[in-house]
Structure 1
Amino acid sequence: MQIISSKKVNLLMTLSSAIIILIEFLLYTYIEDKALVLFTSLVLLSGFMFLISRYLIRRFLYSKIRILYKTIHDTQFIDREFVDKVKTIDIIYEAEKEVREWSEGRGSLLMQMKRQEEYRKEFIGNVSHELKTPIFNIQGYILTLLDGGLEDKNINRLYLERTEKSINRMIGIVKDLESISKLEYGELKLIPERFNIIDLINEVVETQEMRAQKHKIKVVFSQANAIPIYVNADKKEIFQAMVNLVVNSIKYGKQGGKTHIEVMEMGDKYLIEVRDSGIGIEKDNLPRIFERFYRVDKSRSRNMGGSGLGLAIVKHIIDAHEQSINVSSTYGEGTSFSFTLNKATNT
């Protein structure tokens, strides 16, 4: 910072006084009209004082604004070329520009922090709501058993089995939370490999066979015995995405309905579709279907043990593969989810 010292001020004042005295001496020597000499002297004195004051004020403002400019500029960018910038003539304009940009940046940052805070509150609220039901169920079953139900053969085993189901539901919610956390923060590390998507879908159908039977839904994969179709992707994550889609189709299917799975060729990609004949999704709900914890039918979903994270996880997995996922639905008739995967090279 440059500050004008008192010595410099005194020097300027002395110099200006000497110049004015010299000019007055010359005026008195060559001009006979003393009134004109006095008037001219006052004008010159006023002019010199104005110039000196203007200089001092500009230097003062320059030093102060340069500090502000440097502080803001360093806070934002830590720019090593600042020394060159402050040497420009239009330092006040530059400082005003930096202050305006800094203010806009702070405003954006505050808005972002506000959205993150709302996100955090919503997330915590949803997690609490999801865990509350199984926790209260477990508490009720255990208290009943402790109050004498443990000795009653008609209810002890039944309540223990219900307790196990609630515990499994909690475990599922925690696992989904762990998955969605890694996906949303970009911590998922994909391990692409070449694999047969037909075999993977057959495995998914097998793992969900009992669930489908329980809900009286038939899962149909017409290409179950087709020739191998190779894709390049993270096999573990695609398996998880397929499981979530099939489970979702069973959960919202109608009794006696079907879930169809199909693989279609699309240029250098394959399109995998999971289509059901279930309750469908209303048009207004479609844009939010991939949001975490979002449910079209909240009461039914919770009764069926869903965490509300399944489709959000699918979306993140497909996005991580830099592929696309789409949903189409007719309310009361059914829903179709489809996503793409890259064809594997012949190696």
Structure 2
Amino acid sequence: MWATASPRAKRLVLSGWVLFALLNLAAMWVYPEGEAIPFHFVWISIAIVFGVHSWPLAGMMAALAVVTLSTGVLMLGQAFDGRIRFEETSEVPLMAAVFLVMVWHVRGRQRALVELERVAALERQRAETQGLFVRLGSHELRTSITIARGYVELIRSAHDDRQTDVDASIVLDELTKLDRLTGRLTTLMQLDSPVELSPLNLDVFLERLIQRWTPVADRRWQGESDVGTVDANEERLLAAMDSLIENAIAFTQTGDRIHVRAWRDQDFFLIEVSDSGCGIADENVEQIFERSWSSRRGQARGGSGLGLAIVRAAVEARGGSASVRSSVGVGTTFTLCIPQRFRDRRPGVVTAPLSGNAKARGSFEPE
């Protein structure tokens, strides 16, 4: 590349161009009947040299002035001698204008390249900062939170007065929120990294998901899936589903229904999480997946507004989409649509080992 060439090599190229230009100017003078060819060689050569070696503006304008004057004087002299027509001399300002347009384009491209390099450097710095944050969030921060929680537990166990117990419970609750927020921020940062897919039995995955969440909240849990094995990243899908179920728990009360189901639709598999909770106002539905969104009720229950942002980021990283429909006082349904190449079996045949009290083929409830 010319940008990495040595100063000596650059001087040789420029010296060669000067010699080439002088030879063509001499040819224009000696052979006026064929001046068009050496004339254009002079202009083509200066354009080529400028294209591979961006001169400073002052040097470029000086070279342009020398070439314009030298070719212009030669052609005007030949015109006065009657060797060429005067209208042919118009090529000189036209070629100078073309060269200036080329200079404008080249310098604009160089500015764009400089800006791209600056943006790339900022992106590398951002990636390094993100990686550092992920490492801190997944280790140092959580380690400190765990240590703090342990000491609070010791303090609470060493004192039997009610006020100390209340204060310790508040601190533990805040540490739990901080730990959850740290985990979500770490997950959100990691979603920008490449996705590694592996076979996952979605039916078994969803059944275990419901069984894991059942002791957390007293709800009417239901599940239904006949998708079978898919290519997915289990960790990211689990992060998205945990966020959806945690959101459903936050907006429902004891005895409300939470229903998880999955099915195939052509080249996609869809997962739906619906609840019979309080629902979402129409004005909030459009912005519910934004990272900055958090309803008042979600804030009151310790919501950070990152859970649904994790859902959307995880699904879109897989080439899919997330949508929501809701009615106030009726409930909310979130739907994940993820592209898939099904190879293992035809739709409608259940391969998941379902719970013993499953009500129907492909449906399951927690034991």
Q: Do both share a fold (TM > 0.5)?
A: yes
**1:174 matched residue in structure 2:** 182
| TM-superposed deviation, 1:150 | 6.7
Task: Tell me how far apart the structure 1 counterparts of residues 323 and 251 of structure 2 sit (CA, whole Å).
Answer: 18
> 1:278 aligns to what SS in structure 2?
coil
Q: Superposition pairs for residues 1-347 of structure 1, below 5 Å?
A: 2=14, 69-70=51-52, 90-103=98-111, 151=159, 153-184=161-192, 186-190=193-197, 192-197=198-203, 199-213=204-218, 218-223=219-224, 229-234=227-232, 235-254=234-253, 256-292=255-291, 294-297=292-295, 299-341=296-338, 342=340, 343=342, 345-346=344-345
CA contact (8 A) 1:66 1:95 kept: no
Task: Tell me how far apart the structure 1 counterparts of residues 231 and 220 of structure 2 sit (CA, whole Å).
Answer: 24
Task: Tell me how far apart the structure 1 counterparts of residues 332 and 123 of structure 2 sit (CA, whole Å).
Answer: 32
CA contact (8 A) 2:223 2:261 kept: yes
Residues 166, 204 of structure 1: CA spacing in aligned structure 2 closer, same or farther, 3 A cutoff?
same
Task: Tell me how far apart the structure 2 counterparts of residues 193 and 251 of structure 1 sit (CA, whole Å).
Answer: 31
Residues 204, 313 of structure 1: CA spacing in aligned structure 2 closer, same or farther, 3 A cutoff?
same
Unaligned runs of 5+ in 1: 20-54, 74-88, 125-130
> 1:250 aligns to what SS in structure 2?
helix
CA contact (8 A) 2:184 2:306 kept: yes
> 1:288 aligns to what SS in structure 2?
coil
Unaligned runs of 5+ in 2: 1-12, 31-38, 56-94, 134-140, 346-350, 352-367
Residues 157, 318 of structure 1: CA spacing in aligned structure 2 closer, same or farther, 3 A cutoff?
same
CA contact (8 A) 1:295 1:301 kept: no
**2:86 matched residue in structure 1:** none
How many aligned residue pairs are there? 262
| Higher Rg of the two aligned structures | 1
> 2:323 aligns to what SS in structure 1?
strand
Residues 150, 315 of structure 1: CA spacing in aligned structure 2 closer, same or farther, 3 A cutoff?
same
CA contact (8 A) 2:214 2:221 kept: no
> 1:193 aligns to what SS in structure 2?
strand
Aligned-residue CA RMSD in angstroms?
4.9
In structure 2, what residue type is equivalent to 1:249?
A: A
Per the normalisation by structure 1, the TM-score is 0.57
CA contact (8 A) 2:277 2:329 kept: yes
Per the normalisation by structure 2, the TM-score is 0.54
CA contact (8 A) 2:14 2:49 kept: no
> 1:339 aligns to what SS in structure 2?
strand
